Structure 1
Protein backbone atom coordinates (compact mmCIF):
# COMPACT_ATOMS: atom_id res chain seq x y z
CA UNK A 1 0.00 0.00 0.00
CA UNK A 2 1.28 3.46 -0.88
CA UNK A 3 1.71 5.49 2.30
CA UNK A 4 2.68 9.16 2.32
CA UNK A 5 2.96 11.64 5.15
CA UNK A 6 2.97 15.32 6.03
CA UNK A 7 5.23 16.03 9.01
CA UNK A 8 5.20 19.67 10.14
CA UNK A 9 7.09 21.08 13.12
CA UNK A 10 5.01 23.18 15.54
CA UNK A 11 7.48 26.06 15.66
CA UNK A 12 5.43 28.39 13.46
CA UNK A 13 2.20 28.51 11.49
CA UNK A 14 1.79 26.76 8.16
CA UNK A 15 1.82 28.74 4.89
CA UNK A 16 1.03 28.03 1.24
CA UNK A 17 4.28 26.13 0.76
CA UNK A 18 3.20 23.68 3.44
CA UNK A 19 -0.25 23.47 1.87
CA UNK A 20 1.30 22.57 -1.49
CA UNK A 21 3.38 19.83 0.15
CA UNK A 22 0.42 18.45 2.10
CA UNK A 23 -1.89 18.47 -0.94
CA UNK A 24 0.80 16.74 -3.03
CA UNK A 25 1.32 13.99 -0.46
CA UNK A 26 -2.42 13.59 0.12
CA UNK A 27 -3.22 13.31 -3.58
CA UNK A 28 -0.43 10.83 -4.32
CA UNK A 29 -1.77 8.54 -1.62
CA UNK A 30 -5.37 9.02 -2.69
CA UNK A 31 -4.59 8.26 -6.35
CA UNK A 32 -3.10 4.92 -5.27
CA UNK A 33 -5.91 4.21 -2.76
CA UNK A 34 -3.28 4.42 -0.07
CA UNK A 35 -2.81 6.19 3.24
CA UNK A 36 -1.95 9.81 4.02
CA UNK A 37 -0.47 10.32 7.49
CA UNK A 38 0.00 13.37 9.70
CA UNK A 39 2.98 13.30 12.05
CA UNK A 40 3.83 16.21 14.35
CA UNK A 41 7.60 16.68 14.64
CA UNK A 42 7.70 18.29 18.07
CA UNK A 43 11.19 17.79 19.48
CA UNK A 44 12.58 21.20 18.58
CA UNK A 45 13.11 22.19 22.20
CA UNK A 46 11.53 25.39 23.44
CA UNK A 47 10.60 26.36 19.87
CA UNK A 48 7.95 23.62 19.75
CA UNK A 49 4.55 25.04 20.64
CA UNK A 50 1.94 22.35 21.40
CA UNK A 51 -0.98 24.64 20.57
CA UNK A 52 0.13 24.82 16.94
CA UNK A 53 -0.58 21.12 16.39
CA UNK A 54 -4.30 21.81 16.74
CA UNK A 55 -3.94 24.73 14.34
CA UNK A 56 -2.32 22.39 11.81
CA UNK A 57 -5.23 19.97 12.05
CA UNK A 58 -7.69 22.80 11.47
CA UNK A 59 -5.66 23.98 8.47
CA UNK A 60 -5.61 20.54 6.83
CA UNK A 61 -9.35 20.09 7.38
CA UNK A 62 -9.95 23.56 5.90
CA UNK A 63 -8.01 22.50 2.79
CA UNK A 64 -10.35 19.52 2.47
CA UNK A 65 -7.74 16.85 3.22
CA UNK A 66 -8.31 13.58 5.08
CA UNK A 67 -5.57 11.90 7.08
CA UNK A 68 -4.68 9.46 9.82
CA UNK A 69 -2.57 10.90 12.60
CA UNK A 70 0.33 8.90 14.01
CA UNK A 71 2.36 9.36 17.18
CA UNK A 72 4.27 12.65 17.48
CA UNK A 73 8.02 12.61 17.73
CA UNK A 74 7.88 13.41 21.44
CA UNK A 75 6.43 9.92 21.97
CA UNK A 76 9.30 8.24 20.11
CA UNK A 77 12.36 9.29 22.09
CA UNK A 78 13.27 5.74 23.10
CA UNK A 79 13.63 4.71 19.45
CA UNK A 80 16.01 7.60 18.76
CA UNK A 81 18.11 6.78 21.81
CA UNK A 82 18.30 3.10 20.86
CA UNK A 83 19.38 3.84 17.29
CA UNK A 84 22.02 6.32 18.45
CA UNK A 85 23.32 3.84 21.01
CA UNK A 86 23.63 1.18 18.31
CA UNK A 87 25.56 3.47 15.98
CA UNK A 88 27.75 4.66 18.83
CA UNK A 89 28.54 1.07 19.86
CA UNK A 90 29.52 0.30 16.28
CA UNK A 91 31.99 3.19 16.27
CA UNK A 92 30.06 5.23 13.73
CA UNK A 93 29.33 8.29 15.88
CA UNK A 94 31.75 10.70 17.50
CA UNK A 95 31.12 13.59 19.93
CA UNK A 96 31.49 17.21 18.88
CA UNK A 97 31.41 20.43 20.89
CA UNK A 98 31.85 22.87 17.98
CA UNK A 99 29.46 25.79 17.73
CA UNK A 100 27.91 27.00 14.49
CA UNK A 101 30.17 30.06 14.59
CA UNK A 102 33.26 27.89 14.97
CA UNK A 103 32.19 25.68 12.08
CA UNK A 104 31.49 28.66 9.86
CA UNK A 105 34.94 30.07 10.66
CA UNK A 106 36.82 26.84 10.00
CA UNK A 107 34.85 25.25 7.14
CA UNK A 108 36.63 25.03 3.80
CA UNK A 109 33.56 24.37 1.66
CA UNK A 110 29.82 24.92 1.62
CA UNK A 111 27.15 22.29 1.14
CA UNK A 112 23.38 22.28 0.64
CA UNK A 113 22.80 22.99 4.34
CA UNK A 114 25.54 25.60 4.77
CA UNK A 115 29.21 25.31 5.83
CA UNK A 116 30.33 21.67 5.80
CA UNK A 117 31.77 20.50 9.10
CA UNK A 118 35.55 20.14 8.68
CA UNK A 119 35.95 17.27 11.16
CA UNK A 120 37.51 19.28 13.99
CA UNK A 121 36.52 16.80 16.73
CA UNK A 122 36.90 13.66 14.64
CA UNK A 123 39.54 11.26 15.93
CA UNK A 124 39.97 13.02 19.27
CA UNK A 125 39.53 10.98 22.45
CA UNK A 126 36.01 11.27 23.82
CA UNK A 127 37.27 12.64 27.14
CA UNK A 128 39.03 15.48 25.30
CA UNK A 129 36.03 16.32 23.16
CA UNK A 130 33.45 16.17 25.93
CA UNK A 131 35.06 18.98 27.90
CA UNK A 132 34.12 17.51 31.24
CA UNK A 133 31.38 15.26 32.54
CA UNK A 134 27.90 16.58 31.77
CA UNK A 135 29.06 19.04 29.12
CA UNK A 136 26.67 19.12 26.15
CA UNK A 137 27.95 17.43 23.01
CA UNK A 138 26.47 16.65 19.64
CA UNK A 139 27.06 13.23 18.09
CA UNK A 140 28.08 13.20 14.44
CA UNK A 141 27.95 10.39 11.91
CA UNK A 142 31.36 9.32 10.61
CA UNK A 143 30.23 9.22 6.99
CA UNK A 144 33.44 7.69 5.61
CA UNK A 145 33.35 4.84 8.13
CA UNK A 146 29.64 4.32 7.48
CA UNK A 147 30.17 4.03 3.73
CA UNK A 148 32.97 1.53 4.29
CA UNK A 149 30.45 -0.54 6.24
CA UNK A 150 27.63 -0.39 3.67
CA UNK A 151 29.42 -0.18 0.32
CA UNK A 152 27.78 1.65 -2.63
CA UNK A 153 24.09 2.48 -2.22
CA UNK A 154 21.32 3.93 -4.37
CA UNK A 155 17.94 5.53 -3.85
CA UNK A 156 15.11 6.45 -6.21
CA UNK A 157 13.24 9.72 -6.57
CA UNK A 158 9.93 9.50 -8.42
CA UNK A 159 10.76 12.67 -10.37
CA UNK A 160 14.57 12.68 -10.63
CA UNK A 161 15.15 8.94 -11.01
CA UNK A 162 17.86 6.72 -9.57
CA UNK A 163 20.57 8.38 -7.45
CA UNK A 164 23.94 7.09 -6.24
CA UNK A 165 24.33 7.79 -2.53
CA UNK A 166 26.77 10.63 -1.90
CA UNK A 167 26.36 11.86 1.70
CA UNK A 168 29.82 13.44 1.73
CA UNK A 169 28.33 16.61 0.24
CA UNK A 170 26.79 17.25 3.68
CA UNK A 171 29.81 16.10 5.67
CA UNK A 172 29.60 14.36 9.03
CA UNK A 173 26.08 15.42 9.96
CA UNK A 174 24.75 15.65 13.50
CA UNK A 175 22.45 12.78 14.48
CA UNK A 176 22.05 13.66 18.17
CA UNK A 177 21.94 17.36 18.95
CA UNK A 178 23.52 18.92 22.04
CA UNK A 179 20.34 19.62 23.96
CA UNK A 180 17.74 17.66 22.00
CA UNK A 181 17.13 13.92 21.52
CA UNK A 182 17.79 13.64 17.78
CA UNK A 183 18.42 15.63 14.64
CA UNK A 184 15.99 15.72 11.73
CA UNK A 185 18.13 13.21 9.84
CA UNK A 186 17.86 10.49 12.46
CA UNK A 187 14.33 11.16 13.70
CA UNK A 188 12.64 11.44 10.29
CA UNK A 189 14.39 8.33 8.97
CA UNK A 190 13.33 6.23 11.97
CA UNK A 191 9.81 7.65 11.99
CA UNK A 192 9.16 6.98 8.31
CA UNK A 193 10.22 3.38 8.78
CA UNK A 194 8.08 2.95 11.91
CA UNK A 195 5.05 4.47 10.20
CA UNK A 196 5.37 2.33 7.08
CA UNK A 197 5.87 5.29 4.76
CA UNK A 198 6.55 3.99 1.25
CA UNK A 199 6.66 7.34 -0.60
CA UNK A 200 8.49 10.12 1.25
CA UNK A 201 6.99 13.31 -0.16
CA UNK A 202 8.81 16.56 0.60
CA UNK A 203 10.36 19.64 -1.01
CA UNK A 204 13.44 19.77 -3.21
CA UNK A 205 15.30 21.60 -0.47
CA UNK A 206 15.64 18.23 1.30
CA UNK A 207 16.92 16.35 -1.76
CA UNK A 208 20.53 16.28 -0.53
CA UNK A 209 19.47 15.10 2.93
CA UNK A 210 18.11 11.92 1.37
CA UNK A 211 21.66 10.72 0.71
CA UNK A 212 22.18 10.66 4.48
CA UNK A 213 18.80 9.09 5.15
CA UNK A 214 19.44 6.27 2.70
CA UNK A 215 22.79 5.61 4.42
CA UNK A 216 21.07 5.47 7.81
CA UNK A 217 18.52 2.99 6.46
CA UNK A 218 21.34 0.68 5.41
CA UNK A 219 23.14 1.02 8.74
CA UNK A 220 20.00 0.42 10.82
CA UNK A 221 18.43 -2.29 8.63
CA UNK A 222 15.38 -0.16 7.81
CA UNK A 223 13.05 -0.54 4.81
CA UNK A 224 13.80 1.67 1.80
CA UNK A 225 10.97 3.82 0.43
CA UNK A 226 10.77 5.78 -2.80
CA UNK A 227 11.08 9.57 -2.52
CA UNK A 228 9.14 12.33 -4.26
CA UNK A 229 10.88 15.71 -3.97
CA UNK A 230 8.41 18.26 -5.30
CA UNK A 231 9.21 21.81 -6.45
CA UNK A 232 9.10 24.63 -3.90
CA UNK A 233 6.88 27.67 -3.86
CA UNK A 234 9.08 30.74 -4.13
CA UNK A 235 8.63 34.46 -3.87
CA UNK A 236 9.27 35.91 -7.33
CA UNK A 237 10.68 39.16 -5.99
CA UNK A 238 13.48 37.43 -4.07
CA UNK A 239 13.65 33.95 -5.56
CA UNK A 240 13.53 32.47 -2.03
CA UNK A 241 11.18 29.78 -0.81
CA UNK A 242 8.23 30.62 1.37
CA UNK A 243 9.27 30.21 4.99
CA UNK A 244 7.97 30.71 8.51
CA UNK A 245 10.94 32.87 9.44
CA UNK A 246 10.16 35.27 6.59
CA UNK A 247 6.59 35.67 7.87
CA UNK A 248 4.93 34.32 4.75
CA UNK A 249 1.12 34.67 5.14
CA UNK A 250 -0.16 31.78 7.24
CA UNK A 251 -2.91 29.34 6.41
CA UNK A 252 -4.50 30.08 9.78
CA UNK A 253 -4.76 33.79 8.94
CA UNK A 254 -6.29 32.97 5.56
CA UNK A 255 -8.72 30.56 7.20
CA UNK A 256 -9.77 33.07 9.86
CA UNK A 257 -10.21 35.73 7.18
CA UNK A 258 -12.85 33.56 5.51
CA UNK A 259 -10.92 32.37 2.47
CA UNK A 260 -12.09 29.11 0.86
CA UNK A 261 -9.58 26.40 1.78
CA UNK A 262 -10.91 23.86 -0.72
CA UNK A 263 -10.58 26.44 -3.48
CA UNK A 264 -7.00 27.17 -2.45
CA UNK A 265 -6.20 23.44 -2.52
CA UNK A 266 -7.74 23.16 -5.99
CA UNK A 267 -5.67 26.12 -7.20
CA UNK A 268 -2.51 24.54 -5.81
CA UNK A 269 -3.30 21.34 -7.71
CA UNK A 270 -3.55 23.37 -10.92
CA UNK A 271 -0.34 25.20 -9.98
CA UNK A 272 -2.11 28.52 -9.83
CA UNK A 273 -0.58 30.63 -7.12
CA UNK A 274 -1.16 34.15 -5.77
CA UNK A 275 0.61 37.00 -7.53
CA UNK A 276 4.29 37.05 -6.67
CA UNK A 277 4.52 33.31 -5.99
CA UNK A 278 5.65 30.60 -8.39
CA UNK A 279 7.24 27.15 -8.48
CA UNK A 280 10.97 26.98 -8.25
Structure 2
Protein backbone atom coordinates (compact mmCIF):
# COMPACT_ATOMS: atom_id res chain seq x y z
CA UNK A 1 0.00 0.00 0.00
CA UNK A 2 1.28 3.45 -0.89
CA UNK A 3 2.22 6.12 1.57
CA UNK A 4 -0.75 8.18 2.77
CA UNK A 5 -0.77 11.92 3.30
CA UNK A 6 -0.13 11.77 7.02
CA UNK A 7 2.82 9.40 6.66
CA UNK A 8 4.37 11.49 3.91
CA UNK A 9 4.21 14.71 5.86
CA UNK A 10 5.13 13.01 9.11
CA UNK A 11 8.47 11.88 7.72
CA UNK A 12 9.21 15.28 6.21
CA UNK A 13 8.25 17.19 9.34
CA UNK A 14 11.10 15.51 11.20
CA UNK A 15 13.49 17.68 9.24
CA UNK A 16 11.57 20.85 8.55
CA UNK A 17 8.60 23.06 9.17
CA UNK A 18 6.93 24.63 6.13
CA UNK A 19 6.99 28.39 6.16
CA UNK A 20 6.26 31.29 3.89
CA UNK A 21 6.84 34.96 4.56
CA UNK A 22 5.03 34.55 7.90
CA UNK A 23 7.17 31.55 8.97
CA UNK A 24 4.05 29.54 9.77
CA UNK A 25 4.63 25.96 11.00
CA UNK A 26 3.39 22.79 9.38
CA UNK A 27 -0.24 22.12 10.22
CA UNK A 28 -2.74 19.46 9.20
CA UNK A 29 -4.32 21.77 6.63
CA UNK A 30 -0.86 22.77 5.49
CA UNK A 31 -0.57 19.16 4.38
CA UNK A 32 -3.80 19.54 2.46
CA UNK A 33 -2.25 22.43 0.55
CA UNK A 34 0.30 20.00 -0.88
CA UNK A 35 -2.42 17.50 -1.70
CA UNK A 36 -4.34 20.23 -3.53
CA UNK A 37 -1.33 20.88 -5.74
CA UNK A 38 -1.10 17.20 -6.67
CA UNK A 39 2.60 17.45 -5.89
CA UNK A 40 4.85 14.44 -6.23
CA UNK A 41 7.32 13.47 -3.52
CA UNK A 42 10.19 15.43 -5.09
CA UNK A 43 8.07 18.59 -5.20
CA UNK A 44 6.92 18.13 -1.61
CA UNK A 45 10.51 17.63 -0.43
CA UNK A 46 11.69 20.63 -2.44
CA UNK A 47 8.94 22.87 -1.03
CA UNK A 48 9.34 21.84 2.58
CA UNK A 49 13.12 21.97 2.74
CA UNK A 50 13.42 25.17 0.72
CA UNK A 51 10.86 26.81 3.00
CA UNK A 52 12.86 25.77 6.04
CA UNK A 53 16.42 26.38 4.83
CA UNK A 54 15.77 29.44 2.67
CA UNK A 55 17.93 28.03 -0.14
CA UNK A 56 16.99 26.24 -3.36
CA UNK A 57 18.18 22.59 -3.55
CA UNK A 58 20.81 23.22 -6.22
CA UNK A 59 22.51 25.86 -4.04
CA UNK A 60 21.99 24.44 -0.53
CA UNK A 61 24.96 23.94 1.74
CA UNK A 62 24.85 22.67 5.33
CA UNK A 63 27.58 23.42 7.86
CA UNK A 64 27.99 22.27 11.46
CA UNK A 65 29.71 24.70 13.81
CA UNK A 66 31.11 24.39 17.32
CA UNK A 67 29.60 27.37 19.11
CA UNK A 68 32.08 26.98 21.98
CA UNK A 69 35.19 27.31 19.80
CA UNK A 70 33.85 29.18 16.78
CA UNK A 71 35.26 26.48 14.50
CA UNK A 72 33.72 23.85 12.26
CA UNK A 73 32.33 20.88 14.17
CA UNK A 74 33.94 17.51 13.59
CA UNK A 75 31.15 15.43 12.01
CA UNK A 76 32.50 12.41 13.84
CA UNK A 77 30.88 13.91 16.93
CA UNK A 78 27.44 13.69 15.32
CA UNK A 79 28.24 10.14 14.22
CA UNK A 80 29.04 9.16 17.79
CA UNK A 81 25.83 10.78 19.06
CA UNK A 82 23.72 8.97 16.48
CA UNK A 83 25.65 5.72 16.65
CA UNK A 84 27.64 4.40 13.65
CA UNK A 85 25.21 1.56 12.94
CA UNK A 86 22.17 3.86 13.02
CA UNK A 87 23.88 6.49 10.88
CA UNK A 88 25.09 3.97 8.30
CA UNK A 89 21.60 2.48 8.15
CA UNK A 90 20.06 5.91 7.63
CA UNK A 91 22.53 6.74 4.87
CA UNK A 92 21.81 3.41 3.16
CA UNK A 93 18.08 4.14 3.31
CA UNK A 94 18.67 7.54 1.70
CA UNK A 95 20.73 5.89 -1.03
CA UNK A 96 17.96 3.39 -1.75
CA UNK A 97 15.37 6.18 -1.78
CA UNK A 98 17.47 8.14 -4.28
CA UNK A 99 17.77 5.09 -6.54
CA UNK A 100 14.07 4.26 -6.18
CA UNK A 101 13.03 7.73 -7.37
CA UNK A 102 15.30 7.49 -10.39
CA UNK A 103 17.18 10.65 -9.55
CA UNK A 104 13.97 12.70 -9.25
CA UNK A 105 14.80 13.99 -5.77
CA UNK A 106 16.08 17.58 -5.88
CA UNK A 107 18.92 16.85 -3.43
CA UNK A 108 22.19 14.96 -3.78
CA UNK A 109 23.13 12.03 -1.55
CA UNK A 110 25.68 14.23 0.25
CA UNK A 111 23.06 16.92 0.94
CA UNK A 112 20.56 14.34 2.21
CA UNK A 113 23.15 12.86 4.58
CA UNK A 114 23.90 16.29 6.05
CA UNK A 115 20.18 17.03 6.37
CA UNK A 116 19.71 13.69 8.11
CA UNK A 117 22.46 14.54 10.60
CA UNK A 118 20.90 17.96 11.22
CA UNK A 119 17.47 16.39 11.71
CA UNK A 120 18.87 13.90 14.21
CA UNK A 121 20.55 16.58 16.32
CA UNK A 122 17.43 18.76 16.22
CA UNK A 123 15.26 15.83 17.34
CA UNK A 124 17.37 15.04 20.41
CA UNK A 125 15.59 15.62 23.70
CA UNK A 126 18.67 17.35 25.12
CA UNK A 127 20.98 18.27 22.23
CA UNK A 128 24.51 19.46 23.03
CA UNK A 129 24.61 23.22 23.53
CA UNK A 130 27.69 23.72 21.37
CA UNK A 131 26.35 22.15 18.16
CA UNK A 132 25.10 24.84 15.81
CA UNK A 133 23.82 24.32 12.25
CA UNK A 134 24.01 26.77 9.36
CA UNK A 135 22.10 26.47 6.09
CA UNK A 136 23.80 28.58 3.45
CA UNK A 137 23.86 29.39 -0.25
CA UNK A 138 26.89 27.76 -1.89
CA UNK A 139 27.18 30.72 -4.26
CA UNK A 140 28.07 33.00 -1.35
CA UNK A 141 29.42 30.48 1.16
CA UNK A 142 28.80 30.11 4.89
CA UNK A 143 29.16 33.01 7.30
CA UNK A 144 30.57 30.71 9.97
CA UNK A 145 27.77 31.24 12.48
CA UNK A 146 25.00 28.75 13.14
CA UNK A 147 21.57 29.07 14.67
CA UNK A 148 21.68 26.30 17.23
CA UNK A 149 20.30 22.90 16.35
CA UNK A 150 17.35 24.55 14.57
CA UNK A 151 19.74 26.06 12.06
CA UNK A 152 20.57 29.52 10.73
CA UNK A 153 19.15 30.47 7.33
CA UNK A 154 20.38 33.19 4.95
CA UNK A 155 18.77 36.60 5.13
CA UNK A 156 16.23 37.02 2.33
CA UNK A 157 16.29 40.17 0.26
CA UNK A 158 13.43 41.57 -1.80
CA UNK A 159 15.34 40.44 -4.88
CA UNK A 160 15.38 36.89 -3.58
CA UNK A 161 11.62 37.00 -3.01
CA UNK A 162 11.07 38.25 -6.56
CA UNK A 163 13.22 35.45 -7.98
CA UNK A 164 11.27 32.88 -5.98
CA UNK A 165 7.98 34.26 -7.30
CA UNK A 166 9.31 34.03 -10.84
CA UNK A 167 9.97 30.30 -10.36
CA UNK A 168 6.24 29.55 -9.92
CA UNK A 169 4.86 27.84 -13.02
CA UNK A 170 1.22 27.16 -13.88
CA UNK A 171 1.69 23.42 -13.33
CA UNK A 172 3.21 23.94 -9.88
CA UNK A 173 0.70 26.57 -8.75
CA UNK A 174 -0.79 26.18 -5.29
CA UNK A 175 -2.27 28.63 -2.73
CA UNK A 176 0.40 30.35 -0.68
CA UNK A 177 -1.25 30.27 2.73
CA UNK A 178 -3.56 28.10 4.78
CA UNK A 179 -6.07 30.96 4.98
CA UNK A 180 -6.10 31.20 1.17
CA UNK A 181 -6.83 27.49 0.89
CA UNK A 182 -9.78 27.74 3.27
CA UNK A 183 -11.16 30.91 1.67
CA UNK A 184 -10.79 29.53 -1.83
CA UNK A 185 -12.64 26.29 -1.20
CA UNK A 186 -15.28 28.03 0.87
CA UNK A 187 -16.19 29.80 -2.37
CA UNK A 188 -17.31 26.43 -3.71
CA UNK A 189 -19.69 26.21 -0.74
CA UNK A 190 -19.45 22.42 -0.71
CA UNK A 191 -21.14 20.65 2.18
CA UNK A 192 -21.94 16.99 1.54
CA UNK A 193 -22.94 13.88 3.49
CA UNK A 194 -20.16 11.72 4.84
CA UNK A 195 -20.26 8.38 3.03
CA UNK A 196 -18.93 5.21 4.69
CA UNK A 197 -15.79 4.10 2.88
CA UNK A 198 -15.18 7.47 1.22
CA UNK A 199 -13.35 10.69 1.97
CA UNK A 200 -13.96 14.11 0.43
CA UNK A 201 -10.76 15.75 -0.83
CA UNK A 202 -9.97 19.03 -2.61
CA UNK A 203 -7.67 19.26 -5.61
CA UNK A 204 -6.29 22.19 -7.57
CA UNK A 205 -4.41 22.45 -10.85
CA UNK A 206 -2.93 25.32 -12.82
CA UNK A 207 -2.35 25.54 -16.56
CA UNK A 208 -0.99 27.90 -19.17
CA UNK A 209 -4.50 28.57 -20.52
CA UNK A 210 -8.12 27.57 -19.98
CA UNK A 211 -8.04 24.89 -22.68
CA UNK A 212 -5.35 22.97 -20.80
CA UNK A 213 -7.10 22.98 -17.42
CA UNK A 214 -9.02 19.70 -17.80
CA UNK A 215 -5.86 17.85 -18.80
CA UNK A 216 -3.98 19.41 -15.89
CA UNK A 217 -6.73 18.37 -13.48
CA UNK A 218 -6.68 14.80 -14.80
CA UNK A 219 -2.92 14.65 -14.21
CA UNK A 220 -3.34 15.93 -10.66
CA UNK A 221 -6.04 13.35 -9.92
CA UNK A 222 -3.74 10.59 -11.18
CA UNK A 223 -0.86 11.90 -9.08
CA UNK A 224 -3.03 12.12 -5.97
CA UNK A 225 -4.27 8.56 -6.52
CA UNK A 226 -0.71 7.25 -6.85
CA UNK A 227 0.81 9.31 -4.05
CA UNK A 228 -1.86 8.76 -1.42
CA UNK A 229 -3.22 5.35 -2.41
CA UNK A 230 -6.76 6.58 -3.06
CA UNK A 231 -9.15 6.11 -5.98
CA UNK A 232 -11.22 8.92 -7.43
CA UNK A 233 -14.93 8.06 -7.55
CA UNK A 234 -17.14 11.13 -8.08
CA UNK A 235 -16.83 14.84 -8.65
CA UNK A 236 -18.90 17.01 -6.32
CA UNK A 237 -18.03 20.54 -7.41
CA UNK A 238 -15.70 22.23 -9.85
CA UNK A 239 -14.59 25.85 -10.14
CA UNK A 240 -12.51 27.52 -12.84
CA UNK A 241 -10.99 30.91 -12.11
CA UNK A 242 -7.72 32.84 -12.19
CA UNK A 243 -5.32 32.96 -9.24
CA UNK A 244 -4.09 36.30 -7.81
CA UNK A 245 -0.83 35.60 -9.67
CA UNK A 246 -2.73 35.42 -12.98
CA UNK A 247 -2.54 31.63 -13.34
CA UNK A 248 -5.66 29.95 -14.82
CA UNK A 249 -6.67 27.30 -12.31
CA UNK A 250 -9.29 24.62 -11.80
CA UNK A 251 -10.41 23.50 -8.35
CA UNK A 252 -12.36 20.34 -7.63
CA UNK A 253 -13.86 18.61 -4.62
CA UNK A 254 -14.68 14.93 -4.96
CA UNK A 255 -15.27 11.61 -3.27
CA UNK A 256 -12.33 9.21 -3.04
CA UNK A 257 -12.14 5.70 -1.64
CA UNK A 258 -9.19 3.89 -0.07
CA UNK A 259 -8.21 1.34 2.56
CA UNK A 260 -9.59 2.03 6.02
CA UNK A 261 -6.32 3.22 7.57
CA UNK A 262 -5.70 5.63 4.68
CA UNK A 263 -9.25 6.98 4.93
CA UNK A 264 -8.81 7.53 8.65
CA UNK A 265 -5.56 9.46 8.18
CA UNK A 266 -7.03 11.65 5.44
CA UNK A 267 -10.18 12.35 7.45
CA UNK A 268 -7.97 13.63 10.26
CA UNK A 269 -6.21 15.95 7.78
CA UNK A 270 -9.45 17.32 6.31
CA UNK A 271 -11.10 17.56 9.75
CA UNK A 272 -14.67 17.66 8.46
CA UNK A 273 -14.05 20.69 6.24
CA UNK A 274 -16.60 19.64 3.58
CA UNK A 275 -19.18 17.73 5.63
CA UNK A 276 -22.56 18.96 6.76
CA UNK A 277 -25.34 16.90 8.30
CA UNK A 278 -28.09 16.02 5.83
CA UNK A 279 -26.52 18.11 3.05
CA UNK A 280 -27.09 17.09 -0.55
CA UNK A 281 -24.08 16.80 -2.89
CA UNK A 282 -23.86 19.60 -5.42
CA UNK A 283 -22.83 17.46 -8.40
CA UNK A 284 -22.14 19.45 -11.51
- TM-score normalised by the shorter chain: which range applies? under 0.3
Larger radius of gyration: 2
What is the TM-score when the length of structure 2 is the normalising length? 0.26
